[in-house]
Chain A
Amino acid sequence: MDKLFVGLYNLGIGQIVMFIIGGILIYLAVKKEYEPMLLLPIGFGTILVNLPLSAVLEYEGAPGVLKILFDAGIQTELFPVLIFVAVGAMIDFTPLFVNPTMLFFGAAAQFGIFATIVVALLVGADDLKVASAIGIIGAADGPTAIFVATKFAQKYLGPITVAAYSYMSLVPIVQPPVVRLLTTKKERMIRMDYRDVKVPKAVKILFPILITIIAGIIAPISVPLVGLLMFGNLIRECGVLERLSQSAQNELANLVTILLGITIGSTMKAEAFLQPTTLVILLGGLAAFIFDTAGGVLFAKFLNLFLKKKINPMVGAAGISAFPMSARVIQKMAQKEDPSNFILMQAVSANVAGQLGSIIAGGLILALVPLLVG
């Protein structure tokens, strides 16, 4: 009889709390449409892995299906890297070629990553590696966050990934108050010229190749990230691999996303998730997005001190990697102040630059932190 109720006997309060958390993630995905492609599989994976004696992780000494997927796809960093191929195939860098100055906002808005590392240590992160894994949530870039967290703080992979994707979907709520706080109405109404320039195909093809070489020389450890992102982009831009480009953007992206989400969910075991550090991670993630936004806006205001033709400082906030949500939020804010103001293309340029900036920042962290920790 005892064997019949073995599941019930092994059910603890922690597991029930995790069922609720899994349910909340599924609710946010379905009802609020917050990053549903990731939050729904993570939510369901959370429930799966917290079932008593869950056979998805281990059964009679043999690894279960989620353990096999974890070892094959996360431990080896294969899933996040494959996602980068898909993301690269989806990105159109043309707005950046038209407005290359916006690259600097993509750099400035990474300030939040580094500021959060300091803050995380101040509020109780275990060490520099864990603090860096928390800070990388500010990359606003899921695969980069997963990649860095896998290397530096694997036991916190679940909460870091959930925080990264949750805050990315909360950009419309997090960014506007910070932007409003740091800008005047007059600044938010600044108009910016945009001229449409035809970008030669050779530039679009050479760009991913040269970026890979430069980034690879500066931070060799970033090559799996930059290299595969740019490989995806090269497939897209070369013009002769349309089928592969479509496959990367659709089949590859969808398949890896399903496996990535549910496998991340498998790290959300009650004993690992219900810890004070999880709270530090969630608060740190929020701080990272706030610092990112502030960094971009303040950098634009700083540049305006020297520029004759002023930049709308809100564009700086779009320098985070959450594409295209951040650019849309900034355009909406600009039109709220002046319905005829159109800064979407500049914001998109900054947003695309943010995707490059976040990977470079991630690469630098991967290169520098082991040297600092010794």
Chain B
Amino acid sequence: MFDFLVGASNITKSLFLMVVGVLGTHATLLLFYIMIKVLLKIFTRNAKTNN
């Protein structure tokens, strides 16, 4: 998967891990953010309609 890193030093690999790790964590939590917003929109609207 990471063929371009074959033979690279551990430092290079760790820097790559840092970039992918930080971006990956942000991207995943962005998904959670969108999910919370959508859930709140759906169920808050439903609650208002029921009232």
Contacts and interface: CB of A to CB of B under 8 A. Distances in A.
A binds B: yes
Nearest to A200: B43
Contacts of A114: 14, 17-18, 21-22
Contacts of B25: 107, 110, 357, 360-361, 364
Contact of A214 (B6, B14, B31, B37): B31
A372 B36 contact: no
Given A110-B22, A364-B21, A101 B33 contact: yes
B35 to A, nearest CB: 6
A360 B11 contact: no
Interface string B10-24: 110111111011101
A372 B25 CA distance: 18
A199 B40 contact: yes
B17 A117 contact: yes
A368 B47 contact: no
B36 to A, nearest CB: 4
Nearest to A132: B17
A1 to B, nearest CB: 54
Nearest to B18: A114
Interface in A202-260: 202-203, 206-207, 210-211, 214-215, 218-219
Interface string A138-180: 0000000000000000000000000000000000000000000
Interface residues on B, range: 20 to 34
Contacts of A121: 10-11, 14
Interface string A71-100: 000000000000000000000000011001
Contacts of A372: 2, 5, 13, 16-17
Contacts, number: 115
Contacts of B44: 200
Interface residues on A, range: 35 or more
B29 A353 contact: yes
A122 interface: yes
A365 B21 contact: yes
* Chain B interface, DSSP helix/strand/loop, else mixed: helix
B45 to A, nearest CB: 10
Contact of A128 (B1, B14, B31): B14
Contacts of A202: 39, 43, 46
A202 B39 CA distance: 9
Nearest to A117: B14
A290 interface: no
B49 interface: no
Given A103-B29, A214-B35, A115 B18 contact: yes
Contacts of A110: 21-22, 25
Given A128-B10, A361-B21, 19 more contacts: A97-B40, A100-B40, A101-B33, A103-B30, A103-B33, A107-B25, A107-B26, A121-B14, A122-B11, A200-B44, A200-B46, A203-B36, A214-B32, A214-B35, A218-B31, A361-B25, A369-B17, A372-B2, A372-B13
30 contacts: A96-B36, A97-B40, A100-B36, A100-B37, A100-B40, A103-B30, A103-B36, A104-B33, A107-B25, A115-B18, A117-B17, A118-B14, A121-B11, A131-B14, A132-B17, A203-B40, A211-B35, A214-B31, A214-B32, A215-B28, A218-B24, A218-B31, A356-B29, A357-B29, A364-B20, A364-B25, A368-B20, A368-B21, A371-B1, A372-B5
A-B interface, 4 closest residue pairs, ranked by CB to CB distance from nearest? A114-B18, A200-B43, A107-B29, A107-B26
